[in-house]
Chain A
């Protein structure tokens, strides 16, 4: 069949020409992809090496850990989300690769931390109504870890990250700002505006009384009483009846020895 064709460029069928272009394009793309793949694998290897060399520091030094997490964020990978996805059915997502790469030590760290946070929130729920400052959790967790041997410093940033890692579980654990203080709320409940206002005032003043609320917020006595009764009923505040006027305190300064 080919023998019948005359020699020369024009003799080449148009399809062959475009096939050559396509071929070339594919080659280019493949080269490009290959070089990207190489770059990525080099990068992954370096990162893997980095996490091995610095694994201890990542687990130990909160500042280092925060920087590491920031780096992960910058490249658009969430080292925590990875461990959750891995347990799910879609294990082909890039996340699990990440977890494997890091030897899961970082994931384990935050997972272990989350467990300790849940324990602290549970054990203090009766006394604080399920609202506890992040800073207090941090202190307690750090102390608890000390008992188990292996003093590990934990930062507020770590606590927040660990709490966020609980969200996919539908645990109801959230971090919210009360005034300027970050709190962990372990009971699914919304505070109304009056309640938040009062809790913020207690944070600033230490405690409040009905007359303080009436003077500072211009509230009717009935309104102030209703809010305080609600807060007492939800075990968010404690009362002290031994002063001149009934005082309402938040139990945030209750600490074990």
Chain B
């Protein structure tokens, strides 16, 4: 199912070579209409959540800008001429951010109450504590325990180019490192824009 959708959004993958494989239900027109039956809608939310996570993982998207996403292939199936509305997209993300949704999203700067669509949301295809384990595993595996790394080189450096956390949003990185700090596994120090971290 090659996506021939016009490249409209600002969310286009910067580097990934293979296009994202949309699941079968992406071609199911009612998928883009909020279902009136609540049981059905719950199943629909579940499916959207899986799709959003898979899409963001594939394209290494850590922060989703709602208004941009609406015009990206994620929420707009140009071939079907169907799209998820702003309100419905917000509802899906609200559900993802909730307990039943597995806390797979978090609104940046509080709940999505601004009705402008300008709100941004972290999509947790890995939750901060999961990222913490991934980071810890990488440091462990590369024998860098005890050494000091800058936050910048962790997510932008060449050494991590093949890692899932490469290109990660700085705030999310800090959130994840805080998990390790609380466990006494890491220490963060330095100034605003030249932060470093030491792993134990």
Contacts and interface: CB of A to CB of B under 8 A. Distances in A.
Interface of A: 126-127, 129, 207, 232-233, 235, 238-243, 247, 249, 251, 253-257
Given A127-B40, A233-B37, A240 B30 contact: yes
B33 A253 contact: no
A127 B29 contact: no
Interface residues of B, number: 26
B2 interface: no
A253 B39 contact: no
Contacts of B30: 238-240, 247, 249, 251
A234 B139 CA distance: 52
A126 B40 contact: yes
Given A127-B47, A254-B47, A255-B23, A247 B37 contact: no
B40 A253 contact: no
A240 B47 CA distance: 16
A253 B25 contact: yes
Given A126-B42, A240-B30, A254 B35 contact: no
Given A249-B30, A251-B28, A254-B24, 4 more contacts: A238-B30, A239-B33, A242-B32, A243-B29
A256 B47 CA distance: 9
A235 B39 contact: yes
A257 B29 contact: no
Which 4 residue pairs spanning A and B have beta carbons closest together? Answer: A238-B30, A127-B43, A255-B24, A126-B43
Nearest to B24: A255
B198 interface: no
A240 B32 contact: yes
Contacts of A253: 24-25, 27-28
For A127, A238, A241, A249, the residue with the greatest tally of chain B CB atoms inside 10 Å of its CB is: A238
B143 interface: no
Contacts of A235: 37, 39-40, 43
Interface string B62-85: 000000000000000000011100
B36 A232 contact: yes
Given A247-B29, A257-B21, A257-B23, A238 B35 contact: yes
